[in-house]
Structure 1
Amino acid sequence: MTQDTAYWRAKAASLSFDGRAYIDGAYCDAADGATFASTSPIDGRKLADVAACGAADVDRAVRAARRAFEAGVWSGLAPRERKARLLRLAALIDAHREELALLETLDMGKPIRDALAFDVPETARCYAWYAEAIDKIYDEIAPTGPDALATITREALGVVAAVVPWNYPLMMAAWKVAPALAAGNSVILKPAEQASLSAIRLAALAEEAGIPAGVFSVVPGMGAQAGQALGLHPDVDCIAFTGSTATGKRFMEYSGQSNLKRVWLECGGKSPHIVFEDCPDLDRAALAAALGIFSNQGEVCIAGSRLYVQDGIYDAFMAKVAAHAAALQPGDPLDPATAMGAMVDERQMRGVLARIEAGAAEGARLRLGGRQALGASGGYYIEPTIFDCADQGNSLVREEIFGPVLAAQRFATEDDAVRLANDSVYGLGAGLWTANLSRAHRLSRRLRAGLVWVNCYADGDITVPFGGVKQSGFGRDKSLHALDKYSDLKTTWISLTV
């Protein structure tokens, strides 16, 4: 990145914000005129008033989505045509990468260097990947006798609602919107109220790319209004959700109370990161352990928030982790040198600080951090924080904090490591470091997680599935498997005897 802080501050000062909903091919206010304030966590200043959509707005978006789906303006296009338009959308995202990255940083607080180098490129890559994939997916012919022909075809579901979180607003939306659109569905995106501005801007780019009216809508608003309305709407065929486990359970209830719509959940995590004495590179593992929890301010569902280190290397390894963490102090997110930005809002910051205080009161020993930082900025920052936790029952070990807080523990044997790692209601990610290939294979199978990393942490790309087990949810984002969530299988049996 060649731009400096002055460049990004000037660009931020010149940026305009649109807080309106996008429904049926046009930007609009909420039906009742309600709004909520979008506030930057960098300094607490107000960015824009955002439309607070309610049931009436959701119903309008659903009716437009259904009308477009039935008319075939998108669902009826040949896959190669959907591909061409989605590729145009990917190119437009790339062309507007600085603007979109800045919206992410101002609205959510992540460092501009991360938004520009990772979030926006990965978003564009996701749309391009599903665009390229969709005209290469073949249907099937079943093995029958000579008197029948049986086909198995994939058909779009209809109306898909994507309810996404605030920690990676554009990228998490792309993981759902891109495969759902590629499969031929109409999609309604409900961004998190804490970070809606980039999703609203995306709608204009989708229109410019040739996505027809009604096929893609954005309905910002509060979860209790817009999110619930989508969950209960009888003409929504599928909810794809990423967020807290508690909210995911509510969407399951909404499905049962309405039309038994499909619900695909990617929920919370409390991922274990295990380091054995035979770790092939302790320095690299220590850096991965620090980045695994402190990147994106710890606001990551797969954050390696539980660190288990074998007895013989615990003290030396934790000293290395602490040294890396100390170098990751929060700073101005508009400074390209900043590696750790602001918490998304004051409520999140206060909640994390309360969890830190509670964990210490329960007996955890504070090794590093634990305090609010940059208080004079008006923003919401927390120091990278490390605890030594002897008690597996400590709330720092049990509960998802969603902040820059690491709970570290010792273990003695391989069985101890597995027992501790699996002792959680969550099952999203897990990491392990070992030079023993047999151990790596054994533990990869024994760890109850949807994602396991060996001698790395949080690596991967769009080609592999992302999702968890237990109360981390079910269903998978990314890879070709994501298309299964947004398609129905239809069997057609044709008698050849007539």
Structure 2
Amino acid sequence: MASNGSSVLKMPEIKFTKLFINGAFIDSISGKKFETRDPRTGDVITEVAEGDKEDVDLAVKAAREAFDHGSWPRMSGFAGIPDGVINVITGYGPTAGAAITSHMDVDAVSFTGSTEVGKLVMGAAAASNLKTVSLELGGKCPLIVFNDADINMSVQIAWQGGFFNKGEMCVAGSRVYVQEGIYDEFLKKLIENVKDWVIGDPFDPQVHQGPQVDKEQFEKVLRYIEAGKREGATLLTGGKAVGEKGYYIEPTIFTDVKEDLSIAKDEIFGPVICVMKFKTIEEAIEKANNTRYGLAAGILTNDLNVANRVSRSVRAGIIWVNCFFITDLNVPCGGHKMSGFGKDSGLQAMEKYLNVKSVFTPIYNSPWL
């Protein structure tokens, strides 16, 4: 782990621990609070107000009142946008201002999170006057590496795709499929990254990987690692907690992984990847699609025909060719299957916020009237 030196950034001051409702920070109606802990040490940082149904009802009532009688819905599109989000709105194109001005739908719900919680949100929306729901949920994204790909680039993309943000990314490339011609060399080079990978305090600029977000997630990831070993996969490297305090886990690589193992099927949301071998394009496509998720996928090849064929065939909402984690505000992003539906960014993202209305007004004496 990285040592704590003078270059380590200071822990920011925690200023707000109450619920923000109707423009003010207030205690929850019940007065309940919950602890939030520093994942670096496990120590309690502070206590935060815990909202419940009554607090949600209060927030919804305030939002409804503001929408029905406040000035915001009657502002021009750009007058009602805070400065901090103007760069997001520009990604929707030149029609965004006009669309926002008159068609915002306060009953729309846009949610990012796990598939399990997404199911609950969708069920609640269906029971609540059929609210519009857009869900960006979990993933188990494949990264497909073909024989002709640049192997050094591929190794770096696979490493960053799996271990960036300690694997807590819904689009993490946690299933790495490598064509048999470069499989052995790919594994050798992949493992070499371990020695230069620094785990430690995320406030230290020299650190590559910090702790998992909390104790529950830390323990969940370790359970998956143990399940992978128990179910017969080969632990190539990693697999253990790091240090005496905090929620740190070594970058973990499994091989000899069968498609029906939990580490191959489930979104672990931690620094765990499975590296598997394939022979043909058809096999790669079949394996990539052998998942209940469909959020994103990566394809690494120098053959444009292969890239086009696989990108058309893999059932995922985002396809990266010879790259990973690339985004653009003008391009719609969203998943298929159990990864949800609806889009973020691009003009398609506007749809979930719109309540389209048709208005017919005669401007001359029509023979039909």
TM-score bracket, shorter-length normalisation: over 0.9
Equivalent residue number for residue 41 of structure 1: 39
Equivalent residue number for residue 6 of structure 2: 6
Q: Answer whether contact 1:329 1:384 (CA < 8 A) is retained.
A: no
DSSP 3-state at the match of 2:220: helix
Q: From 124, 138, 141, give the equivalent of 1:271.
A: 141
DSSP 3-state at the match of 1:396: helix
Post-superposition shift, 1:390?
4.0
Q: From 13, 16, 19, give the equivalent of 2:17.
A: 19
Change (3 A) 1:407 1:290: same
Change (3 A) 1:15 1:305: same
Aligned partner letter, 1:299: E
Is 2:175 the counterpart of 1:306? yes
Aligned partner letter, 2:103: E
Any idea what the Cα deviations from partners look like across 1:435-480, whole Å, max 9, x if unmatched? 1111111111000000000011121222222210000000011223
Equivalent residue number for residue 462 of structure 1: 329
1:133, 1:245 → 2: CA distance? 26
Is 2:103 the counterpart of 1:155? yes
Identity, % of aligned positions = 40
Aligned partner letter, 2:349: A
Q: Answer whether contact 1:326 1:384 (CA < 8 A) is retained.
A: no
Post-superposition shift, 1:80?
3.1
Equivalent residue number for residue 387 of structure 1: 254
Post-superposition shift, 1:258?
1.8
DSSP 3-state at the match of 1:321: helix
DSSP 3-state at the match of 2:181: helix
Equivalent residue number for residue 57 of structure 1: 55
Q: Answer whether contact 1:33 1:51 (CA < 8 A) is retained.
A: yes
1:251, 1:55 → 2: CA distance? 14
Any idea what the Cα deviations from partners look like across 1:188-237, whole Å, max 9, x if unmatched? xxxxxxxxxxxxxxxxxxxxxxxxxxxxxxxxxxxxxxxxxxxxxxxxx1
Is 2:113 the counterpart of 1:246? no
Q: How many residues align?
A: 361
1:389, 1:73 → 2: CA distance? 61
Equivalent residue number for residue 340 of structure 2: 473
Is 2:210 the counterpart of 1:341? yes
Any idea what the Cα deviations from partners look like across 1:323-376, whole Å, max 9, x if unmatched? 2244224211121100100001111111110100111111100111000012x2
Q: Answer whether contact 2:141 2:296 (CA < 8 A) is retained.
A: yes
2:90, 2:316 → 1: CA distance? 29
Post-superposition shift, 1:494?
1.8
Change (3 A) 1:36 1:138: closer
Post-superposition shift, 1:277?
0.3
Post-superposition shift, 1:128?
2.5
DSSP 3-state at the match of 2:123: helix
Equivalent residue number for residue 89 of structure 2: 130
2:102, 2:142 → 1: CA distance? 37
Aligned partner letter, 2:27: D
Q: Answer whether contact 1:371 1:383 (CA < 8 A) is retained.
A: yes
Aligned partner letter, 1:36: F
Change (3 A) 1:5 1:270: same
Alignment of 1:45-444 (within 5 A): 45-83=43-81, 86-87=82-83, 90=84, 127-130=86-89, 136-137=95-96, 155-158=103-106, 237-279=107-149, 281-374=150-243, 376=244, 378-444=245-311
Change (3 A) 1:72 1:250: same
2:145, 2:54 → 1: CA distance? 52
Aligned partner letter, 1:484: E
Post-superposition shift, 1:389?
2.6
2:113, 2:290 → 1: CA distance? 21
Change (3 A) 1:273 1:253: same
Change (3 A) 1:312 1:42: same
Q: TM-score with structure 1 length normalisation?
A: 0.69
2:56, 2:67 → 1: CA distance? 16
Aligned partner letter, 1:40: D
Any idea what the Cα deviations from partners look like across 1:275-317, whole Å, max 9, x if unmatched? 00011x2101100100001000000000000000000100101
Equivalent residue number for residue 446 of structure 1: 313
Any idea what the Cα deviations from partners look like across 1:363-411, whole Å, max 9, x if unmatched? 100111000012x2x2101000000034111111111111000101100
Greater fraction helix = 1
Q: Answer whether contact 1:432 1:440 (CA < 8 A) is retained.
A: yes
Q: Answer whether contact 1:290 1:325 (CA < 8 A) is retained.
A: no
Change (3 A) 1:78 1:272: same
DSSP 3-state at the match of 1:430: strand
DSSP 3-state at the match of 1:81: coil
Post-superposition shift, 1:8?
4.6
Q: Structure 2 unaligned segments of length 5 or more: list them.
A: none
Post-superposition shift, 1:497?
4.1
Q: Answer whether contact 1:154 1:490 (CA < 8 A) is retained.
A: no
Q: Answer whether contact 2:165 2:210 (CA < 8 A) is retained.
A: yes
2:70, 2:13 → 1: CA distance? 37
Aligned partner letter, 2:41: D
Q: CA RMSD in A?
A: 1.9
Q: Answer whether contact 2:138 2:293 (CA < 8 A) is retained.
A: yes
Change (3 A) 1:493 1:272: same
DSSP 3-state at the match of 1:64: helix
